[in-house]
């Protein structure tokens, strides 16, 4: 998570959406950088609302706007699957070396997910709170020029990105029947993603 006090902005770090690269690039310009532990680094809207927002509201009388990035849901699951096949995962219980992508998604769709598929939910991470706190600037992961342009204008800086925390390259696809079930069961994820404005061509 990155906090830019003068720009009145908090950049939430949705897992597997490339935010590590932004943390590295924008760290010198941020007033607060939370890079550990993961529960705070990847604090969702509800945790920001409960713990971070009151600090700025009560001490600084500031109501920070929230921004975040969301990845296309199947691509997001694919990134998790590939991330858990990286070399450092050999022999670990959450590794996905012995699973097909279909197996991984099937496990993700279970009510009680096994550890390797217990990767959370983007829509739950981004869910608005009853007091009205919500992400006001939401970007598609695939729309990096729009995202970077917003940050450069808002912060008054220019920066370049390096690839960070990247999952191994691998072509993935779901069986049509499983994809249909996934889209039906997790329609909230897909609806939210498709609600995000695209950059004009």
Mean pLDDT across 33-60: 94
Range of the domain at 49: 2-195
Residue 97 located in a structural domain: yes
| pLDDT at 81 > cutoff 60 | yes
Q: Assign 199 a pLDDT band (cuts: 50, 70, 90).
A: low
| pLDDT at 62 > cutoff 60 | yes
% of the chain residues with pLDDT over 90 = 87
| Count: domains in the chain | 1
Residue 176 located in a structural domain: yes
Tens digits of residue pLDDT in 83-102: 999 988 988 999 999 999 99
Tens digits of residue pLDDT in 1-35: 999 999 999 999 999 999 999 999 999 999 999 99
The label of the residue with tokens 């070396």 reads 97
Residue 7 located in a structural domain: yes
Residue 201 located in a structural domain: no
Distance in angstroms (rounded) separating the CA atoms of residues 157 and 29:
8
Q: Assign 154 a pLDDT band (cuts: 50, 70, 90).
A: very high
The predicted model scores a pTM of 0.93
SS3 assignment for 80-132? HHHHCCCHHHCCCCCCCCCCCHHHHHHHHCCCCCCHHHCCCCHHHHCCCCCCC
Instruction: For residue 52, give the CATH number of its domain.
Output: 3.40.50
Q: Assign 169 a pLDDT band (cuts: 50, 70, 90).
A: confident
Distance in angstroms (rounded) separating the CA atoms of residues 18 and 116:
20
| pLDDT value of position 185 | 97
Residue 200 located in a structural domain: no
């Amino acid at each position: 998570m990155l906090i830019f006090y003068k720009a009145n902005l908090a950049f939430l770090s949705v897992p597997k959406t490339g935010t590590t690269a932004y943390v590295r690039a924008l760290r010198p310009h941020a007033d607060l950088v939370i890079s550990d532990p993961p529960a705070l680094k990847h604090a969702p809207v509800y945790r920001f609302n409960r713990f971070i927002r009151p600090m700025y509201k009560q001490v600084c009388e500031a109501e920070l706007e929230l921004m975040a990035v969301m990845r296309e849901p199947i691509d997001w699951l694919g990134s998790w699957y590939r991330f858990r096949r990286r070399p450092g995962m050999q022999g670990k219980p959450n590794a996905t070396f012995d699973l097909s992508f279909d197996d991984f998604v099937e496990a993700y769709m279970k009510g009680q997910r096994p550890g390797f598929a217990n990767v959370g939910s983007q829509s739950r991470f981004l869910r608005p709170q009853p007091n009205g706190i919500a992400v006001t600037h939401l970007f598609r992961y695939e729309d990096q020029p729009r995202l970077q342009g917003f940050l450069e204008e808002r912060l008054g800086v220019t920066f370049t990105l390096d690839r960070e925390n990247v999952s191994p390259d691998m072509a993935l696809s779901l069986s049509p029947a499983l994809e249909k079930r996934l889209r039906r069961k997790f329609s909230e994820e897909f609806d939210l993603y498709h609600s995000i404005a695209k950059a004009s061509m």
